[in-house]
């Protein structure tokens, strides 16, 4: 299929439909409005459900209901709206339901603004909702990757019976880039996907089995039972941590003098700066976590070559992934941070200046 030029919000919506999502529930919010609008236009054409919910809270709970029926379902929003969904996400994680949540991040806290930001990293990767649970969190850095992550997210959600978040931002949602889509799943394939959950999901009791009683539930009033449930969840998360680490190594080699760590939109700017400095003979590597939970701690640590004097973290926040990088580096070398907030995206020149200063100081 030929590449077409598309906004990230529309590309991920199209890719989700192609991945077999036929149930979409959401509430309008900038800068993800093109996503909900695309779904409103396209879902009826594929016999799917588009429902504009009365609130973010209702939307995520509709997802809870649809996911409880074992069907591919998703919701999308932007930062303030995702905060409202956190109650439902906790329930979905507790009840072990597969679904996809897209966060097209904007500036915060509070109502913040509507420009691109990465301020929801803590919320996405460290909790956000109440209780002990984890979200698989995928962080795209291009429109193509944003679109590709739709099918990856649904596959992971089904595989592990767990909610998966795609943590994008207003830049990725709004900008247009060429994108190539995978073939759309057929109705037969979608029906088969639904059947994989019939042993636990809400479904008709077709053979009249008197013991047919599936419960979609996160309530365990007996502390011992709840303890086992949470331990089982974390045993599952350990498998995810072992199997689902994803990152990109960019210009990582034994002669790196600085190792950068950046994710999503921020990583693109850092790559531009690295390229410009490479032309000037400065050797800088980048680790870009693609999945930000589970986090590729070992990969970050392993990328610290013998000549690396500093690990530099760049984010569009005040230093949230920074904590994970420090855990990974284990104090081996100094870790520095620079970021921009307020929905302002740093420029390659700004990053270049920060990196150049590292070399100047040495001399």
Residues that bind other proteins (CB under 8 A): 23, 25, 49, 51, 53-55, 57-59, 61-69, 71, 73, 87-88, 91, 95, 201-206, 208, 210, 212-219
Q: Which is nearer to other proteins, 69 or 245 (CB)?
A: 69
Question: How many of the other CB atoms lie within 10 Å of CB of 4?
Answer: 13
> Which is nearer to other proteins, 45 or 306 (by Cβ)?
45
217 vs 253, which CB is nearer to other proteins? 217
Tell me how far apart the alpha carbons of residues 111 and 130 are, in angstroms, rounded to a whole number: 22
How far apart CA 299 and CA 290 sit, in angstroms, is: 12
- Torsion angle, CA of 56/339/344/55, rounded to 10 degrees? 0
CB-based contacts of 232: which residues, under 8 Å, 6+ apart? none
List C-alpha distances in Å: 305 to 61, 335, 361.
47, 14, 20
Place of tokens 């920060």: 354
**Considering the complex, what minimum distance in angstroms separates the CB of residue 361 from other proteins?**
53
Phi and psi at residue 289, to the nearest 5°: -60, 125
Name which of 68 and 112 has its Cβ closer to other proteins: 68
Q: Which has the closest alpha carbon to 150: 5, 6, 20?
A: 20
Query: In the complex, what is the shortest distance from the CB of residue 10 to other proteins, in angstroms, rounded to a whole number?
Result: 23
Taken in order 328, 330, 335, 341, the sign of the CA dihedral is: positive
Shortest Cβ 187–other proteins spacing (Å): 15
Q: Cβ atoms within 10 A of the Cβ of 221, count?
A: 6
Q: Are strands 73-77 and 23-26 parallel, antiparallel or unpaired?
A: parallel
Structural tokens at position 172: 């990725």
Shortest separation between residue 69's beta carbon and other proteins, angstroms: 4
For other proteins, the closer of residues 54 and 255 by Cβ is 54
Backbone angles phi, psi at 351, to 5 degrees: -65, -40
Q: What is the DSSP letter of 142?
A: S
Of residues 130 and 332, the one with the C-beta less far from other proteins:
130
CB of 139 to other proteins, least distance (A): 27
If the CB atoms of residues 89 and 277 are measured against other proteins, the closer one turns out to be: 89
Smaller CB distance to other proteins: residue 206 or 280?
206
Closest approach of Cβ 158 to other proteins, in Å?
15
CB of 99 to other proteins, least distance (A): 10
352's tokens = 């270049």
Q: How far is the CB of 140 from other proteins (least distance, A)?
A: 26
Cα atoms in the Cβ-side hemisphere of radius 13 Å centred on 15? 28
Strands of 258-261's sheet in order across: 247-250, 284-289, 258-261, 310-315, 335-339
| Closest approach of other proteins to the CB of residue 209, in Å | 9
Q: Which residue has the tokens 């460290």?
A: 126
- Tell me whether residue 216 or residue 321 sits nearer to other proteins (CB atom): 216
CB nearer other proteins, residue 100 or residue 316: 100
Q: How far is the CB of 52 from other proteins (least distance, A)?
A: 10
């Amino acid at each position: 299929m030929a590449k077409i030029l598309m906004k990230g919000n529309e590309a991920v919506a199209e890719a989700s439909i192609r991945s077999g999502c036929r149930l979409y529930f959401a509430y309008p919010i900038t800068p993800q409005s093109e996503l909900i609008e695309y779904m409103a236009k396209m879902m009826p054409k594929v016999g799917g459900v588009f429902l504009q919910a009365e609130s973010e809270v209702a939307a995520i709970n509709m997802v809870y209901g649809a996911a409880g029926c074992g069907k591919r379902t998703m919701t999308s929003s932007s930062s303030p709206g995702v905060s409202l969904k956190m109650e439902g996400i906790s329930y979905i994680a507790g009840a072990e339901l597969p679904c996809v949540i897209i966060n097209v991040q904007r500036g915060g806290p509070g109502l913040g603004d509507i420009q691109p930001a990465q301020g929801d990293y803590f919320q996405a990767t460290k909790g956000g909702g109440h209780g002990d649970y984890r979200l698989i969190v995928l962080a795209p850095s291009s429109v193509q990757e944003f679109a590709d992550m739709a099918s990856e997210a649904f596959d992971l959600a089904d595989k592990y019976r767990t909610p998966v978040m795609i943590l994008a931002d207003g830049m990725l949602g709004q900008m247009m880039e060429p994108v190539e889509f995978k073939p759309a799943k057929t109705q037969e394939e979608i029906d088969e996907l639904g059947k994989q959950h019939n042993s636990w999901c809400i479904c008709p009791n077709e053979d009249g089995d008197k013991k047919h009683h599936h419960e979609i539930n996160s309530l365990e009033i007996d502390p011992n039972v709840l303890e086992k449930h949470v331990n089982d969840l974390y045993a599952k998360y350990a498998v995810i941590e072992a199997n689902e680490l994803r990152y990109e190594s960019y210009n990582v080699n034994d002669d790196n003098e600085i190792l950068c760590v950046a994710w999503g939109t921020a990583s693109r700017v850092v790559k531009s700066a690295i390229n410009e400095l490479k032309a000037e003979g400065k050797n800088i590597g980048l680790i870009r976590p693609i999945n930000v939970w589970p986090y590729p701690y070992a990969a970050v640590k392993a990328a610290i070559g013998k000549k690396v004097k500093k690990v530099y973290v760049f984010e569009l926040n005040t230093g949230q992934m920074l904590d994970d990088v420090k855990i990974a580096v284990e104090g081996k070398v100094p870790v520095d941070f620079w970021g921009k907030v307020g929905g302002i995206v740093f420029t390659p020149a700004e990053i270049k200046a920060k990196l150049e200063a590292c070399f100047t100081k040495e001399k």
